[in-house]
Amino acid sequence: MRRGERPLKQLPGPLVWGFGVILVCQLLFHHLGQQQVELDYKPLSNPFRATTYQQIAMGSEQLLAYLLAIRLQLHDNQAGRHFSYRRIDYRILVDWLEQITRVNQASEYPMLLASRVYSQTRDRDRLQLILVFIEQNFDLNPQLHWRRLAEASVIAKHQLGDLKLALRLAEKLARQPADIVMPRWARDIHFLLLAELNELESAIAIIRALLQSGSVNDADERRFLEGKLSKFQQRLIESQQSDSN
């Protein structure tokens, strides 16, 4: 006991009792507050089918799709409180995103919400639902959604820790035909992930094919690829030497 401090048993009984009452009241208030929050939260309801919304839109599908997306975004703010995404049923959430996408297929907004907003969860099952949604819609319109698939590959790698899934998504980007216009870096994600998986020979073969094809006209891009080629070749040599020893 420090000098000047008094033992608890020397404190006046009413004072100790008063502190106890205050503590109990605080705990009770916190518990009741949590119960009230639970009562205030309204679960996300199922959306109508896209055809129903299209009939309601009467030619203003773009506006209605935007309003539906805003309505969905605001769901986590209720009664002046912000609720965590963990309260949201992600199957219903993905259904909302799907129906909004169908209402206005030219909009990238639902996919943007998927990759930038609703991917901010630590729940693997929910995150996988989001990635499946992104991949399926990329398949329907690669030109519109290539950015979102690139982000999905990064999410799979860093948030899920699933390099094989990240590689598969990146490979899908890399294999898109030349008429799907996207920057070279989006296609380059593939060989960068191959190198991380120690598939150095495959990564080297891809880079060589790119350089020899004549499709890389940008000088900075060529220097980048040549630098990566040299680095991967060196790593492969070191790996082979290590194995032989």
pLDDT at 39 exceeding the cut of 90:
no
- Note whether residue 40 is domain-resident: no
| Total tally of structural domains belonging to the chain | 1
Q: What's this model's pTM, rounded to 2 decimal places?
A: 0.74
CA 232 to chain centre: 29
Closest C-alpha to 71, from 109, 127, 33:
109
- Note whether residue 151 is domain-resident: yes
- Note whether residue 7 is domain-resident: no
User: For residue 166, how many other CB atoms are within 10 A of its CB?
Assistant: 24
Residue-range definition of the domain harbouring residue 55: 48-78+86-165
Cα→Cα distances 39→87, 106, 209, Å: 13, 38, 60
Average pLDDT over residues 163-190: 92
pLDDT at 12 exceeding the cut of 70:
no
- Note whether residue 100 is domain-resident: yes
What is the C-alpha to C-alpha distance for residues 130 and 124, in angstroms, rounded to an integer? Answer: 10
H helices present in the chain, as ranges: 13-40, 50-57, 61-73, 90-103, 109-112, 124-140, 142-158, 163-174, 184-196, 200-213, 219-244
Q: E strands within the chain? A: 77-78, 81-82
Q: Each residue of 192-225: pLDDT tens digit?
A: 888 888 788 888 888 887 788 777 777 888 888 8
Residue in this structure with the two tokens 């309801």, named with its chain if needed = 45
77 has which bridge partners?
Answer: 82
| Dihedrals phi, psi of 78, to nearest 5 degrees | -135, 140
- Note whether residue 120 is domain-resident: yes
- Note whether residue 232 is domain-resident: no
